[in-house]
Amino acid sequence: MDRRVLTIVLLVFVAALVGVAGPVFNVGFSSGTEPSWAAATGTWQVADGQLRGENGRVLFPVQVGAGRRVEATIASLAGEWAAVVAKYQDENNWVEVRIMNAGVLLVTRTGGLERTWNQAIASTFPATLTLAFSGSKARVLVNGNPVLEAADPAWETMLGAAGVAVRGQAAFSQFHASSFAGPVLITSLGRSPGGLMAKVLAERAGLVHDYIEGAQPSDLRSVQTLILVLGASSKGLGAAGISLDDELARGRALIAEARRQGLAVVVMHIEGEPRRGALSDALITEFTPQADYVVVKADGNADGLFTTLCQAHGLPLRTITATAEAAEVMVDLFSLWR
């Protein structure tokens, strides 16, 4: 197929995209089957739990507007750059952030005119590359760390598809597009102090939220995101007069209601290794696969349980080294940096 015909095919596919089914779109490649994508150029295949591409672009059936973020984990790069693509309308209107061995380059093309911003960093792979929008502003993160910010008035109203791209060869292990919004309900599953910690950190981040330790499905009215803080405390369960089975049942009911309403669900485990054990692991094993986004303190994932669960279900996993870093994660997820 010649380039002109291929461009027309791309335009037809992208024009057919209408919104997003829910606030979060996740694609993992561990199943070994190719995910459905709206359009592709270059050469792409799924193998060994990765999407491998050469000199081209893949667009997924998801659109990015003013308040969305796009994230991909690049497992390896053998070439000039790998990129996260957003707001793709056609060859003359798009935004992408490219990661290279020596830095990142944010490129936008509107009406055929290009603008670029760059930041030198030492890149190693695997690396998680994030491009987030808040109105006319954009923020680039590498492995959860902000590295570049830019602004363009065109981004305020620009709407288009999202995906990944490469010049040379690259392998991607995960793709994620999301729009986390407030108000937020934070609740503890397991009645450990982690829920109150998340409440304090949400206040530090400036996130509009309510904290209800024993939240019920009826508390999800007027909420757009549910944050479940996992961590079982036998003392906390005893003080509340409930069992682990009671908490499991409450968690299932909350998830079911959140899905019925089309809410986003974020799972956090921020107390680390001291909050692991049989009780907590029962909560982690059941509810982590049901999340849209997962945040874990590194020592709480020393055995790789969260990594295994997230890879099996194609979920993004953000790792923090200190509990306090969860505040910056909230700033990122909810675009509070604007």
**Residue 67: its pLDDT value, please?**
80
Res 30: pLDDT: 83
Residue ending a domain, among 157, 178, 199, is 178
Residues 27 and 148 in one domain: yes
Q: Tell me if 50 sits within 8 A of 82, measured CB to CB.
A: no
Spatial distance between the Cα atoms of 120 and 240, rounded to a whole number of angstroms: 52
Whether residues 138 and 274 share a domain: the answer is: no
Co-location of 201 and 301 in the same domain: yes
Q: Scan for tokens 């057919």, then name that residue.
A: 16
Q: Per-residue pLDDT tens for 279-334?
A: 999 999 999 999 999 999 999 999 999 999 999 998 999 999 999 999 999 999 99
Give the number of domains in the chain: 2
CATH code for the domain of 227? 3.40.50
Do 163 and 195 fall within a single domain? no
Q: Are 173 and 139 found together in one domain?
A: yes
Instruction: State the residue range of the domain holding 201.
Output: 184-333
Mean pLDDT of the region 76-95: 97
Q: Is 338 domain-assigned?
A: no
Tokens of 178: 């999301």
Residue 26 three-state SS: strand
Residues 198 and 314 in one domain: yes
pTM for the model stands at 0.90
Tens of pLDDT, residues 147-156: 999 999 999 9
Do 14 and 116 reside in the same domain of the chain?
yes
Do 174 and 60 meet the contact criterion of CB atoms below 8 Å apart? no
What pLDDT is stored for residue 66 in this prediction? 78
pLDDT at res. 286: 98
Average of per-residue pLDDT across 97-119? 96
Given a contact cutoff of 8 angstroms between Cβ atoms, the answer to whether 87 and 95 are in contact is: yes
CATH of the domain at 84: 2.60.120.560
Domain boundary among 134, 157, 178: 178
Question: Looking at 118, 145, 178, which one is the last position of a domain?
Answer: 178
Same domain, 193 and 135: no
Per-residue model confidence (pLDDT) at position 65: 86
**Nearest CA to 292 among 261, 325, 268, 257?**
268
Q: 105-115 burial by CB neighbour count: b if 16+ within 10 A, else e?
A: bbebbbeeeee
